[in-house]
């Protein structure tokens, strides 16, 4: 027993109760009471609730235990013997178990009205007979059983996939048997029953489409399906296409010639219609109903054609997920064979894909998109989408073209361009050639890309990105009088999001590949507008972060006021983006990305202020305190944000930039003091200088916590150079000697990077090696001069140090390193000499 239609009610006291209605004006008959009893026993229900009514009014309820149902007459005697019922049921069950022995077989248990005996028929045996009457009866029996299996499968809960699969397989076998029997009838001179065969073929296709629906529900959009699942989906969709095409051809045979125009399918491209002259077929009976019947038949044919095209579209999407691009394009061609000119607009302007002269046209089309009020609807596609109109089919076809073009597959460039031109309406007059001879169309559009140069391939990649944007745009720009209301509400969010993503991809392409920052800015702005229209706060935030990045680029080389304006705009964009992400409950990774962009903006602005601060003006005065404070404020904001993000590298980089800024301030202060006529230095100025040197040293040390442990390389050397310069500014022999030790410590970086394979890194380290050697030579020369001047208190210590510095100086002169490899040995020798 697979199931029961008995309704169950329950509460804490009564876990399962069935409900029956009883008219109090009528007596309870034996058959009625037996029916109540069997329903409860078969479904294992312990209680029965009877709602008693009279003349339309409820008179009361009665609760009866299942074992008491036979005594409901009130006479005290049961209306039937429970033991007899159980014995008869057991005998019938045993009879069925003994005779229904063929695996996966179909049997018909039948009792004629008025008879007491039951008859069991094997459907397969009956169908093998020579009488067409029996074949037709068996075919219709299989048809009804298949319909019941379908209804039962659809009514089952989602947690019973195995049982659903069994019922689906059962339905499929019954429908195949039905189709086979109807085919035998037609072969032996009987009625063709084309309309029934068409319906059976469609239902067979539905069983395969239902398998694909299960594939959708078991593989959410954010999880990649397994290869085996994809192959299973491809097999099911191919079968569905075959049966739907057969259903279309069979149904075309049922359409009378005078029923009106209809787009039909035939192998030679001509219309095929046939009048129905057989009993039981769908055919008009009189002249008055001709127009209505013809309209109905054409609508049914159009529905089947749209269903076939929808299956082709779904198969195309599966091929895209498998990267089978040629097969995906073929699916688009197949899905297009039932399009008509009436569904394609005739006023579409053709665009040159790699031209930049269509900005106004793009913006005009975007401005015409008006979908206000449906932005928060959302759409979760867990089933195959069946198009309900040709307009929806056209939009879906353009969407699939855009999906393939987004992947930048140049091998199908020609085919995609040709399909887009026809379906969008730019070259709608070529639709007939696409429908009539698909293989020749594919061959004509194919382009050889093996001999294309890099420049040509780059142009085609740009063209494909532009094609994806235009395909999505025209999918959302249907004819004004089209019936797109349903399509808009179901597919708008997905298609608008794809349009916004295409705009974003174009922006990233022009930013990274073409370095055309103004063009990239325009595409990012379009993406912002698109996502704003559908209230997609997350994508709006990410695109604003991209715009902020471009504002930092635009600031380079501009005047001070213009740079400040760009940086302020970038900060405002990032701040608004963070607010949008917070409102949209975005995940932390996205918030970190945008916050990182905001921190980078503060850092770049601070570095810009630091690099463009004149530490010595024409009058010899130090820079204004306000400008220095503004720079440090920007640095501190960046530092705070990077600390919140736990970004160790950027935090260390910010510490390094702050230390460099303090070093330059210290250097400028010392230069001012040396040029000043005042011999005596004020105690306040000396204290400020000492404080700044200590702050700079601490920031250098914090930078080295990362660059001295995690990423020992170029930055490590630069920090040591600047730290050494800071100590040299002191002018004392101890400070200068400390500077020498710091320079010798760069050995770690040169030794670590001596085996690098990167030519760029090697060139950078070679350039730094020359600077380090020159600086070590200058420091040693200064130390020799200081030691010779008698600045050390002990003569013995002075002579010992002088001798060591001279030996080191000779070593540097003798092994004057001009490469990253040679400096390793020089620094190693100098370190040993100093330690000795």
Task: Return the bridge partners of 50, or none.
Answer: 20, 62
Residue 331's Cβ-side half-sphere holds a number of Cα atoms within 13 Å equal to 29
**pLDDT by residue (tens digit) across 117-171?**
889 988 777 767 667 887 888 889 889 989 888 888 877 766 677 888 888 888 9
Average pLDDT over residues 238-249: 95
Average pLDDT over residues 254-276: 48
Report whether pLDDT(714) > 80. yes
Structure tokens at 562: 């213009």
Percentage of the chain exceeding pLDDT 90: 44
Sign of CA dihedral 137, 141, 142, 147: positive
Report whether pLDDT(405) > 90. yes
C-alpha pair distances (Å), 680 with each of 667, 670, 673, 685, 799: 19, 13, 10, 11, 33
**pLDDT by residue (tens digit) across 201-239?**
999 999 999 888 766 655 555 455 677 888 999 999 999
Structure tokens at 829: 């020798």
Is 111 or 124 the better-scoring residue by pLDDT? 111
* φ, ψ at 89 (rounded to 5°): -65, -40
Contact (CB, 8 A) for 281 and 250: no
- CA 219, distance to chain mean position in Å, is 13
Is 267 or 364 the better-scoring residue by pLDDT? 364
**pLDDT by residue (tens digit) across 776-789?**
999 998 888 888 87
pLDDT at 486: 47
**Sheet hosting strand 8-9, strand order edge to edge:** 8-9, 17-23, 47-54, 57-65
Report whether pLDDT(26) > 80. yes
Contact (CB, 8 A) for 182 and 198: no
Pairing of the two strands 107-110 and 57-65: unpaired
Residue 162's Cβ-side half-sphere holds a number of Cα atoms within 13 Å equal to 0
Contact (CB, 8 A) for 650 and 599: yes
Residue for token pair 């800024």:
661
The crossing angle, in degrees rounded to 10, of helices 648-675 and 588-611 is: 10
Average pLDDT over residues 40-49: 92
Structure tokens at 627: 């400008």
Cα–Cα distance, 281 to 534 (Å, whole number): 49
Contact (CB, 8 A) for 16 and 65: no
pLDDT at 417: 93
Cα–Cα distance, 552 to 570 (Å, whole number): 7
Contact (CB, 8 A) for 533 and 375: yes
**pLDDT by residue (tens digit) across 357-387?**
667 777 777 777 755 444 333 444 557 888 8
pLDDT at 294: 72
Structure tokens at 705: 């916590």
pLDDT at 357: 67
pLDDT at 175: 94
Report whether pLDDT(51) > 90. yes
pLDDT at 356: 66
Band (695; pLDDT cuts 50, 70, 90): very high
Band (679; pLDDT cuts 50, 70, 90): very low
Contact (CB, 8 A) for 705 and 715: no
Report whether pLDDT(271) > 50. no
C-alpha pair distances (Å), 168 with each of 4, 156, 197, 337: 18, 12, 19, 30
The crossing angle, in degrees rounded to 10, of helices 795-814 and 820-835 is: 160
pLDDT at 482: 46
Contact (CB, 8 A) for 310 and 390: no
Report whether pLDDT(37) > 60. yes
Is 793 or 173 the better-scoring residue by pLDDT? 173
Most confident of 144-153, 166-175, 273-282, 648-657: 648-657
Task: Return the bridge partners of 109, or none.
Answer: 120
Query: What residues have CB less than 8 Å from 381, skipping those under 6 apart?
Result: 216, 221, 494
pLDDT at 342: 87
**Span of 165-174, 280-289, 395-404, 530-539 with lowest mean pLDDT:** 280-289
The crossing angle, in degrees rounded to 10, of helices 714-728 and 759-788 is: 20
Average pLDDT over residues 107-120: 87
- CA 84, distance to chain mean position in Å, is 64
pLDDT at 374: 40
Q: Long-range contact list for 169-173, CB < 8 A, 24+ apart?
A: 170/104, 170/146, 171/146, 171/203, 171/207, 172/204, 172/207, 173/104, 173/106
pLDDT at 625: 79
Most confident of 100-104, 141-145, 264-268, 309-313: 309-313
pLDDT at 698: 93
Report whether pLDDT(301) > 80. yes
Burial group, residue 518, by CB count within 10 angstroms (0-12, 13-18, 19+): exposed
From the list 64, 27, 26, 66, the residue with the least C-alpha distance to 44 is 66
DSSP-assigned states of every residue in 340-365: -GGGS-S-PPP--TT-S--HHHHHHH
**pLDDT by residue (tens digit) across 454-474?**
888 888 999 999 999 999 999
Which helix (H) or strand (E) segment is 9 a member of? Answer: strand 8-9
Average pLDDT over residues 599-615: 89
Cβ atoms < 10 Å from Cβ of 710: 10
From the list 706, 749, 702, 754, the residue with the least C-alpha distance to 723 is 702
Average pLDDT over residues 173-181: 91
Average pLDDT over residues 784-795: 71
Report whether pLDDT(805) > 50. yes
**Span of 38-47, 321-330, 729-738 with lowest mean pLDDT:** 729-738
């Amino acid at each position: 027993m697979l199931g029961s239609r008995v309704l169950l009610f329950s509460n804490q006291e009564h876990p399962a109760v069935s409900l029956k209605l009883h008219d109090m004006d009528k007596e309870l008959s034996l058959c009625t009471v037996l029916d109540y009893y069997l329903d409860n026993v078969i479904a294992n229900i312990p209680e029965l609730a009877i709602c008693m009514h009279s003349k339309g009014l409820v008179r009361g309820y009665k609760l009866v235990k299942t074992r008491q149902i036979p005594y409901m007459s009130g006479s005290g005697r049961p209306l039937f013997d429970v033991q007899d019922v159980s014995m008869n049921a057991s005998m019938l069950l045993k009879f069925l178990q003994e005779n229904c022995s063929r695996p996966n077989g179909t049997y018909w248990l039948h009792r004629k009205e008025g008879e007491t005996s039951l008859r069991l028929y094997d459907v397969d045996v009956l169908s093998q007979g020579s009488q067409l009457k029996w074949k037709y009866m068996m075919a219709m029996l299989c048809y009804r059983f298949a319909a019941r299996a379908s209804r039962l499968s659809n009514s089952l809960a989602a947690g019973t996939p195995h049982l659903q699969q069994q019922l689906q397989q059962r339905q499929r076998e019954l429908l195949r048997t039905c189709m086979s029997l109807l085919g035998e009838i037609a072969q032996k001179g009987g009625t063709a029953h084309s309309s029934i065969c068409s319906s059976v073929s469609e239902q067979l296709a539905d069983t395969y489409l239902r398998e694909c629906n299960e594939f959708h529900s078991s593989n959410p959009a954010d999880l990649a399906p397994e290869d085996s699942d994809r192959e299973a989906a491809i097999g099911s969709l191919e079968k569905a296409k075959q049966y739907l095409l057969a259903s279309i051809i069979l149904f075309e045979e049922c359409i009378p010639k005078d029923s009106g125009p209809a787009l039909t399918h035939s192998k030679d491209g001509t219309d095929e219609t046939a009048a129905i002259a057989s009993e039981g077929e769908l055919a008009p009976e009189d002249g008055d109903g001709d127009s209505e019947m013809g309209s109905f038949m054409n609508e049914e044919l159009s529905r089947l054609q749209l269903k076939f095209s929808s299956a082709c579209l779904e198969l195309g999407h599966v091929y895209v997920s498998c990267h089978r691009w040629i097969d995906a394009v073929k699916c688009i061609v197949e899905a297009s064979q039932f399009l008509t000119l009436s569904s394609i607009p005739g006023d579409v302007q053709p665009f040159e894909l790699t031209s930049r002269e269509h900005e106004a046209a793009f913006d005009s089309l975007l401005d015409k998109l008006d979908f206000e009020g449906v932005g928060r609807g959302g759409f979760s596609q867990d089933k195959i989408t069946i198009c309900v109109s040709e307009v929806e089919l056209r939009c879906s076809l353009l969407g699939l073209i855009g999906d393939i073009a987004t992947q930048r597959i140049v091998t199908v460039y020609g085919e995609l361009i040709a399909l887009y031109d026809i379906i969008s309406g730019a070259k709608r007059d070529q639709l007939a050639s696409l429908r009539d001879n698909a293989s020749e169309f594919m061959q004509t559009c194919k382009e050889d890309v093996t001999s294309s140069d890099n420049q040509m391939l780059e142009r085609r990649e740009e063209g494909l990105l532009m094609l994806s944007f235009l395909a999505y745009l025209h999918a959302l720009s249907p004819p004004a009088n089209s019936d797109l209301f349903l399509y808009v509400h179901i597919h708008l969010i997905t298609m608008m999001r794809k349009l916004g993503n295409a705009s974003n991809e174009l922006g990233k392409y022009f930013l990274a590949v073409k370095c055309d920052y103004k063009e990239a800015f325009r595409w990012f702005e379009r993406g912002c507008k698109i996502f704003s229209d559908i209230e997609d706060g997350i994508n709006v935030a990410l695109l604003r972060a991209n715009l902020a990045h471009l504002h930092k680029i635009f600031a380079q080389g501009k005047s001070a006021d213009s740079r400040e304006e760009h940086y302020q705009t970038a900060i405002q964009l990032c701040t608004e983006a963070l607010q949008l992400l917070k409102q949209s409950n975005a995940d932390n990774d996205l918030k970190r990305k945008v916050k990182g962009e905001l921190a980078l903006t503060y850092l770049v602005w601070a570095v810009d202020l630091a690099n463009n601060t004149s530490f010595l003006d024409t009058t010899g005065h130090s820079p204004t305190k306000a400008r220095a404070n503004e720079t440090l404020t920007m640095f501190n904001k960046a530092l705070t944000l990077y600390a919140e993000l736990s970004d160790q590298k950027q935090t260390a980089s910010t510490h390094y930039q702050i230390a460099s800024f303090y070093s330059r301030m210290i250097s400028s202060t010392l230069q001012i003091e040396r040029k000043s006529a005042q011999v005596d230095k004020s105690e306040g100025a000396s204290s400020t200088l000492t404080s700044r040197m200590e702050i700079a040293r601490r920031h250098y040390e914090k930078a080295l916590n990362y660059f001295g442990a995690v990423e020992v390389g170029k930055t490590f050397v630069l920090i040591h150079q600047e730290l050494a310069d800071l100590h040299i500014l002191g002018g004392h022999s101890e400070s200068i000697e400390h500077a020498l030790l710091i320079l010798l410590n760069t050995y770690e970086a040169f030794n670590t990077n001596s085996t690098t394979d990167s030519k760029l890194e090697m060139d950078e380290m070679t350039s730094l090696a020359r600077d380090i050697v020159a600086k070590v030579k200058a420091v040693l020369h200064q130390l020799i001069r200081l030691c010779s001047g008698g600045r050390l208190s002990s003569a013995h210590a002075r002579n010992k140090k002088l001798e060591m510095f001279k030996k080191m100086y000779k070593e540097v002169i003798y092994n004057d390193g001009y490469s990253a490899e040679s400096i390793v040995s020089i620094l190693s020798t100098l370190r040993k000499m100093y330690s000795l």
